[in-house]
């Protein structure tokens, strides 16, 4: 090949590279995945929260204790007072600049909020925790930073450590390659790299990691083109946002913005000098210099980097001494504030996939505001894990053989506060809360009672708890049995539900008409039953926890169908609204009938299958469910503002050996102990009648074991002999002194 031919070839190759590199670099909008945020914690006078609980929430968000609040992301705790330097944040309502606020406490409550000049504030929102990112299928994730968002120490440190000739070289450095080779040979290990920052950017952006001469030459050619076409500032900004800093499962950590959140749970601009040096130390080999697996190795490299900072005048002697003395301070697993919740994120994606193409969600920098309450999520997840382990120990069940799924919603809005897909919250994959469909057992029985109430029956009406035989799906005769194998004659409807009597419920369903009960189910859930046979009446209907939650939302809300909802608002990268996800209400039950049903479910907790709950007398309502051979354990229960549904069983569909009361109810109980209970409110216009529990007859509490039940048609009721509702002499005398 002649010299001229070689020049033509080289020139042509550079033109080819120029077109590829320039078009891609100029045309690329950084792949900015949609950021997903939880509910923000709202502070206001009267909020029940202690100073220590508030500090815990602040530390979840990466705030650090400080004596003088020098910058955002700091807090100071004093006696009955917490001062906070809030960060800037673009809320749904608009942008809020960082501001100092003070919260004053007394008796476990906030009594006053003021700003730094003493003005009283009605409401202050902490910025919401980032709980997820919808990143591309190849797993790259990043938080894109502008030059002002990058600390000067990081910029100077990158040049000092990774590429001293960055500001002067044309994209590659022969001196740098030679110096790195000599240093590595002397150290007996790879301590320096020969690639410039521009070459590293090319490798991360355009090329594979294969170690061949051809690839290296392409790398140099592309680096030269980038240097000719773009400014050093553009290249440094790209490098800051692109460099690979680690792997979290399927999620690749790119750029210093995400690296700061992943390793320290704080924005990059808030990191201390020693933390910035730690991030720089990881560049050389994110696997080899993994601070979680090899802290001593990373600490040693970090300190060498700090020494270089000092020698180069980037930091002074005092700053160097302070940084050297600090620990690594990395936060395992992105810490609580940056935690990713795979189960809940599945629901977010499900709600958005009909509105936005996948590419838009993974590249256009959207901000998605959701309903998740991280505190409730973590407390419920902990309750699930501990309770399953406790059950396995107590009942000699194989360790880790039980699984669970559940969902906690706000009962008046359907907003999802927590979603549990298994005992290990961090695992991606099959989402039991959304995709596991198991027969729900007696959890379905309130649908039949509701159908009866809508047919003008009362809870005190009677039904036969007697043997019955019906055709089954297989064509054979189906003869259901009660749990204890006995029959109970004629019983009131409330006892049929409270004691979960199979025969009574099947007889009632047949009397009402299976088709009518299933129409009611369709109204409550928005779908036809999968099982068209009478076994449906005993819960031979496969459903997922999220579907059961929608069913019970009709009861917990006071008569409205509320589809479980995860997404509130979506903003574009500039903070402008793209979509608002309103609460959709559809009334399905008359309020009076809904209240009557809920009184029966509350009675089920106090006197029926839920009586083993520690909250049985706390004004909560719910129903257990158990399937054939104890394969599946269910419980759905609610208080005045929360609905929680849980399933417990085995993934192989073998018997768990658990009933609804011995499995899912225990998980529900443990969860409510952690997140609190608010007793159901009783409508002011509700009229309750004293009924002897076992007979269903009217009676005075002083002469019978009574319960209070709403009854519409009193003419159908009889009175227990010798126990009329007229006042006794003693009661009349007491009323004289109390009126």
Q: Where are the alpha helices (DSSP H) in 499-569?
A: 502-512, 514-525, 545-556
Measured CA to CA in angstroms, residue 361 lies from 238, 247, 367, 369 at distances of 21, 21, 9, 13
Distance, in Å, from the CA atom of 418 to the CA atom of 644, rounded to the nearest integer, reads 9
Distance, in Å, from the CA atom of 325 to the CA atom of 445, rounded to the nearest integer, reads 65
Q: What does the DSSP 8-state code read for residue 149?
A: G
Residue with tokens 């990043």: 142
The length of the chain in residues reads 739
The CA radius of gyration of the chain, in Å to the nearest whole number, is: 33
Q: Within 13 Å of residue 94, how many CA atoms lie on the same side as its CB?
A: 2
Helix (H) or strand (E) holding 489: strand 489-492
Pick the catalytic residue: 339, 442, 553, 662? 442
Q: What is the dihedral of CA 390, 395, 396, 399, to 10 degrees?
A: -40
Q: Hey, what are 351's tokens?
A: 């709600």
Measured CA to CA in angstroms, residue 614 lies from 41, 403, 520, 611, 667 at distances of 29, 23, 32, 8, 12
The total of other beta-carbon atoms located within 10 Å of residue 134's CB is: 21
Question: Which residue, 197, 285, 274, 211, is CA-closest to 241?
Answer: 197
Measured CA to CA in angstroms, residue 611 lies from 608, 676, 709 at distances of 6, 18, 17
Would you say 676 and 712 are in contact if contact means Cβ atoms under 8 Å apart? Answer: no
The total of other beta-carbon atoms located within 10 Å of residue 374's CB is: 23
Would you say 679 and 618 are in contact if contact means Cβ atoms under 8 Å apart? Answer: yes
Distance, in Å, from the CA atom of 305 to the CA atom of 71, rounded to the nearest integer, reads 25
Distance, in Å, from the CA atom of 460 to the CA atom of 464, rounded to the nearest integer, reads 13
Would you say 627 and 605 are in contact if contact means Cβ atoms under 8 Å apart? Answer: no
Distance, in Å, from the CA atom of 103 to the CA atom of 86, rounded to the nearest integer, reads 12
The total of other beta-carbon atoms located within 10 Å of residue 631's CB is: 19
Would you say 255 and 241 are in contact if contact means Cβ atoms under 8 Å apart? Answer: yes
Question: Which residue, 392, 390, 387, 352, is CA-closest to 370?
Answer: 352
Residue with tokens 């000049």: 117
How far is it between the farthest Cα atoms of the chain?
A: 125
Question: Which residue, 148, 144, 146, is CA-closest to 31?
Answer: 144
**Catalytic site includes residue 26:** no
Would you say 116 and 100 are in contact if contact means Cβ atoms under 8 Å apart? Answer: yes
Distance, in Å, from the CA atom of 264 to the CA atom of 279, rounded to the nearest integer, reads 10
Q: Hey, what are 516's tokens?
A: 């009518």
Distance, in Å, from the CA atom of 177 to the CA atom of 507, rounded to the nearest integer, reads 86
Residue with tokens 């320096």: 192
Q: Is 664 exposed, middle or buried (0-12, 13-18, 19+ CB in 10 A)?
A: buried
**Catalytic site includes residue 162:** yes
| Pairing relationship of beta strands 140-142 and 251-254 according to DSSP bridges | parallel
Pick the catalytic residue: 57, 162, 272, 403? 162
Residue with tokens 């992301």: 73
Q: Would you please indicate which residues are annotated as catalytic (active-site) residues?
A: 162, 442
């Amino acid at each position: 090949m002649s010299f001229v031919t070689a020049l033509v070839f080289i020139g042509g190759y550079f033109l080819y590279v120029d077109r590829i590199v320039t078009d891609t670099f100029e045309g690329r909008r950084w792949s900015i995945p949609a950021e997903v945020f939880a509910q923000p914690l709202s502070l206001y006078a009267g909020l029940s929260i202690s100073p220590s609980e508030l500090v815990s929430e602040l530390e979840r968000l990466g705030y650090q204790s400080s004596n003088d609040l020098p910058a955002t992301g700091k807090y100071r705790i004093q006696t009955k007072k917490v001062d906070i330097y809030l960060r800037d944040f673009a809320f749904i309502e608009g942008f809020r600049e960082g501001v100092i606020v003070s919260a004053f406490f007394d008796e476990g409550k906030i009594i006053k909020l003021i700003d730094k000049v003493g003005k009283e504030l009605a409401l202050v929102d902490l910025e919401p925790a980032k709980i997820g990112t919808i990143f591309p299928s190849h797993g790259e994730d990043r938080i894109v930073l502008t030059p002002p968002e990058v600390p000067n120490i990081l910029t100077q440190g990158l040049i000092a450590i990774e590429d001293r000739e960055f500001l002067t070289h044309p994209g590659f450095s022969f001196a740098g390659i030679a110096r790195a080779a000599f240093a590595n040979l002397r150290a007996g290990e790879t301590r320096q790299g020969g690639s410039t920052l521009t070459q590293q950017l090319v490798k991360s952006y355009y090329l594979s990691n294969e170690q061949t001469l051809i690839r290296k030459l392409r790398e140099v050619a592309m680096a030269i083109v980038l240097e000719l076409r773009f400014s050093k500032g553009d290249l440094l900004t790209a490098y800051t946002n692109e460099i690979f800093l680690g792997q979290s499962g399927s999620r690749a950590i790119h750029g210093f913005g995400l690296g700061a959140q992943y390793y320290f749970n704080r924005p990059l601009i808030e990191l201390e000098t020693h933390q910035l040096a730690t991030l720089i130390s990881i560049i050389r080999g994110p696997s080899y210099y993994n601070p979680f697996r090899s802290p001593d190795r990373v600490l040693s490299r970090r300190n060498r980097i700090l020494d270089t900072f000092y020698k180069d005048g980037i930091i002074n002697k005092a700053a160097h001494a302070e940084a050297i003395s600090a620990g690594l301070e990395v936060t395992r697993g992105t810490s609580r504030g940056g935690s990713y919740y795979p189960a809940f994120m599945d629901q977010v994606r499900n709600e958005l996939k009909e509105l936005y193409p996948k590419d838009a969600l993974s590249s256009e920098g959207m901000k998605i505001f959701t309903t998740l309450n991280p505190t409730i999520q973590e407390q419920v997840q902990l309750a699930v894990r501990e309770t399953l382990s406790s059950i396995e120990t107590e009942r000699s069940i194989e360790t880790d053989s039980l699984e669970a799924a559940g969902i906690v919603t706000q009962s008046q809005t359907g907003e999802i506060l927590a979603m549990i897909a298994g005992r290990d919250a961090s695992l991606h994959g099959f989402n039991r809360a959304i995709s596991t469909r198991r027969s729900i057992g007696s959890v379905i029985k309130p649908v039949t009672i509701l159908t009866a109430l809508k047919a003008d029956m009362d809870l005190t009406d009677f039904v036969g708890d007697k043997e019955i035989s019906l055709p089954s799906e297989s064509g054979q005769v189906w003869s259901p049995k009660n749990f204890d194998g006995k029959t109970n004659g004629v019983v009131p409807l409330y006892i049929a539900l409270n004691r979960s009597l199979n025969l009574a419920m099947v007889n009632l369903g047949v009397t009402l008409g299976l088709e009518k009960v299933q129409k009611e189910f369709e109204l409550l859930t928005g779908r036809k039953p999968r099982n068209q046979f009478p076994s449906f009446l005993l819960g031979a209907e496969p459903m997922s926890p999220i579907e059961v939650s929608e069913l019970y939302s009709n009861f917990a809300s006071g008569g409205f169908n509320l589809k479980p909802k995860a997404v509130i608002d979506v903003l574009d990268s500039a903070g402008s609204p793209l979509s608002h996800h309103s609460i959709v209400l559809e009334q399905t039950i008359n309020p009076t009938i809904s209240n009557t049903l809920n009184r029966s479910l509350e009675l089920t907790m106090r006197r029926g299958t839920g009586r083993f709950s520690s909250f049985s007398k706390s004004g909560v309502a719910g129903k257990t469910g158990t399937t054939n051979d104890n394969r599946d354990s269910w419980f759905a229960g609610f208080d005045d503002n929360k609905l929680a549904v849980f399933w417990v069983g085995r993934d192989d569909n073998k018997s768990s050996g658990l009933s609804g009361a011995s499995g899912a109810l225990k998980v529900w109980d443990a969860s409510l102990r952690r997140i609190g209970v608010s007793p159901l409110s009783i409508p002011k216009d509700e009229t309750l009648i004293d009924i002897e529990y076992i007979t269903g007859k009217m009676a005075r509490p002083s002469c019978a074991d009574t319960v209070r039940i709403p009854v519409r048609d009193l003419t159908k009721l009889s009175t227990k002999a010798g126990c009329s509702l007229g006042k006794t002499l003693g009661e009349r005398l007491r009323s004289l002194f109390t009126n």
